[in-house]
Chains A and B, each alone.
Chain A
Amino acid sequence: MHSTRAGNTMAHPGVLIGCDIHPVFNVVESIDVFGERYLARVFTPAERAACGEAPERLAARYAAKESVLKLLKIPADVAVAWTDIEVSADPNGAPSVTLHGRAAEIAADLGITTIELTLSHDGGMAMAVAAAMVGLDVELAA
């Protein structure tokens, strides 16, 4: 194990996970109070275009950003912008995450090449789970 640029430590081989659950109402409230400033600070233009005006989809993306932050174990004094963690979806709706800036550097330091993501929302709550394998060469049986 060694120190990284983020002051974090290289993860042991294994699986890193992070999860988050978030009330949709909190996003609605923040949009009502802060409007464009809130949306621009937290979500990328592509995320906003994908979500339209659906607060449950924005809340799920916020939960995804938090789950990735937990997975990366960001130290308290390391700055990561919310827009450095960008959630997108393929044509079938399967979500994926792209990291930018400091978040990408930290992931690279940890040896993370891919983060798997799943999102859901129901009953006024949105949630996400993020997972990444580090240092594992896993082959699934045919």
Chain B
Amino acid sequence: MSGTAGVDAGVRRVLDTHAKLRVPAADLAEDADLYAAGMTSHASVNVMLAVEDAFEVEFPDSLLTKSTFCSIGAIRCAVEGLLEAAA
């Protein structure tokens, strides 16, 4: 899974499975507030772990902020940063 579109699609798949959103992730804009869409703080833990599995990355403590998981775009940017750092 690579490229912005691939990462975006992967993040949306994770959200559909783990974020407990009230709507399908496909219906959300990249900058839509995931917490407003129903994701709880605890669900964001599951999202983080599932994203790590999906992209074979690990979120360092420095990225454990509410803003890292606040939108699809924010998660995608974080994943792209981690993938770039690992390359």
Contacts and interface: CB of A to CB of B under 8 A. Distances in A.
Contacts of A27: 42
B70 interface: yes
Interface string B46-80: 10111010000000011111110010000000000
Main SS of the interface on chain B? helix
A97 interface: no
A29 to B, nearest CB: 8
B4 interface: no
Contacts of B66: 74, 76-77
Contacts of A19: none
A30 B44 CA distance: 11
16 contacts: A26-B40, A30-B49, A33-B18, A33-B46, A33-B49, A34-B46, A37-B52, A69-B41, A76-B67, A77-B65, A77-B66, A78-B65, A79-B61, A79-B64, A80-B64, A81-B64
Interface of B: 18, 40-43, 45-46, 48-50, 52, 61-67, 70
